[in-house]
Amino acid sequence: MKRVLVTGGAGFIGSHLSTLFLSRGWQVVCIDNFLTGKPENIDHLRRERNFRLLEQDVSKYIEFPDSVDLVLHFASPASPFDYHRYPIQTLKVGALGTHNALGLAKAKRSGFLLASTSEVYGDPQVHPQNEDYWGHVNPIGPRGVYDEAKRFAEAMTLAYHRTHGVDTKIVRIFNTYGPRMQPNDGRAIPAFIAEALNGDPLTVFGNGAQTRSFCYVDDLIEGIYRLSQSDYHGPVNIGNPNEMTILQLAEKIKEITKSLSQIVFKELPVDDPKIRRPDIARAKTILKWEPKVDLTTGLKHTIEYFKKVKQEKGVLEWQK
Ligand code: NAD
Ligand code: UDP
């Protein structure tokens, strides 16, 4: 039986990846320090014989005695709200954490896959973004702690591939959503759903004309699984090219939740990218992958999840 070690395995994407690898016959070791992830995200896995949790900070030396076939390095704050709150931890896990995870992969002679991001393209001047674009990033702005850490992580990953021959992969993830996002993590979809379900105004930043392209988590993790099993070492965009404005997104969530909430406008955060849409030609060719879940279906699943959490935890606790 093969063993995969998932850093950040108790996070939103990490918990879905752990579930997928278990269902495909792998042993899964989740490493997490619960900086932004929640123990509840892996409650459904705890009784599985082939699942193990290690509570560790991967920015420090990673202790793991047994053999490993694949390291998936997903540990990092991911929402702008979280990496503004934890700027130094974000830089450390992108730099030191990636170095440690690569060192482990080298020592175990295992594969390695880095969770990179569309943020490496910054506020892009090329549209849609393909993997050959080098990006437009402000290194000293508030988003720089995340963007530059991920750019460093990509450089380190390819250095381990070229210097030590580690079998590395890099996925550039575009905005992804679904169950197990935190209702208070500040990203647009959880924020709008929580506001709609609470009957509060939906807070759109700026005039809402900035665009994003949202991918449902089940599509994303299938793409990541395929990339992990491929022999392609360059970066690969995974995302859904269905682009919309943030105002359109807020209106869609209002419509699906049948919310009577108003939409209010707040100041646009510094360096907020104005446009974003993945060019997924590489993923289509190399992985034979493309997203299947449309926005309405994905949002309905996510809204159901949020309603359940609200019901179970109660109005006062569900966003803590
Ligand atoms: P998340 O915050 O839900 O998960 C991140 C997990 O990493 C959390 O469980 C957190 O506790 C853990 N973690 C953070 N620092 C750690 C450390 N030093 N040691 C051990 N564990 C640590 O975020 P997510 O949305 O699931 O994102 C997962 C990965 O995917 C991140 O690397 C992120 O940069 C990348 N990504 C996500 C998106 C997206 O749309 N969700 C987009 C681009 C990239
Ligand atoms: N956004 C918003 N209201 C919110 C949260 C986010 O209008 O409550 C906007 C944000 O300014 C950005 C877009 O929605 O333009 C997507 O933000 P998110 O934090 O989800 O991800 P990003 O792509 O910026 O990392």
Q: How far apart are CA 295 and CA 144, in angstroms?
A: 29
pLDDT band at 320 (very low <50, low <70, confident <90, very high): confident
Domain 3-177+216-238 has CATH 3.60.40.10: no
Q: Which atom of ligand 1 is nearest to the CA of 77?
A: 2
User: Does the beta carbon of 181 sit less than 6 angstroms from any atom of ligand 1?
Assistant: no
Give the residue extent of every domain in the chain: 3-177+216-238
User: Does the beta carbon of 41 sit less than 6 angstroms from any atom of ligand 1?
Assistant: no
Q: What is the structure's pLDDT at 316?
A: 79
Q: How far apart are CA 221 and CA 15, in angstroms?
A: 10
Q: Which atom of ligand 1 is nearest to the CA of 90?
A: 15
pLDDT band at 314 (very low <50, low <70, confident <90, very high): confident
Report how far ligand 2's centroid is from the alpha carbon of 109 (Å): 39
Q: Answer whether residue 233 shows pLDDT above 90.
A: yes
Q: Answer whether residue 78 shows pLDDT above 90.
A: yes
Tell me which residue of 44, 39, 141 sits closest to 84, measured CA to CA. Answer: 141
Q: How far apart are CA 78 and CA 225, in angstroms?
A: 20
pLDDT band at 148 (very low <50, low <70, confident <90, very high): very high
Q: What is the structure's pLDDT at 9?
A: 98
pLDDT in tens, 257-293: 999 999 999 999 999 999 999 999 999 999 999 999 9
pLDDT in tens, 13-68: 999 999 999 999 999 999 999 999 999 999 999 999 999 999 999 999 999 999 99
Q: How far apart are CA 197 and CA 137, in angstroms?
A: 35
Report how far ligand 2's centroid is from the alpha carbon of 148 (Å): 19
Q: What is the structure's pLDDT at 274?
A: 98
User: Does the beta carbon of 211 sit less than 6 angstroms from any atom of ligand 1?
Assistant: no
Residues with Cβ within 8 Å of 217's Cβ and at least 6 positions away in sequence, in order, are 12, 13, 16, 176, 177, 178, 179, 180
Q: What is the structure's pLDDT at 317?
A: 85
Q: Answer whether residue 2 shows pLDDT above 90.
A: yes
- Residue 25, CB-side half-sphere exposure with 13 Å CA sphere: 2
Q: For a pLDDT cut of 70, what percent of the chain falls above it?
A: 100
302 touches 249 (CB < 8 A): no
Q: Is 146 a known active-site residue?
A: yes
Pocket of ligand 2 (CB under 6 A): 79-80, 175, 187-188, 191, 203-205, 210, 212, 246, 269, 272
Tell me which residue of 250, 173, 239 sits closest to 210, measured CA to CA. Answer: 250
Tell me which residue of 174, 131, 156, 134 sits closest to 73, measured CA to CA. Answer: 156
pTM above 0.85, yes or no: yes
Q: What is the structure's pLDDT at 110?
A: 98
- The DSSP annotation for 99-125 comes to HHHHHHHHHHT-EEEEEEEGGGGBS-S
pLDDT band at 98 (very low <50, low <70, confident <90, very high): very high
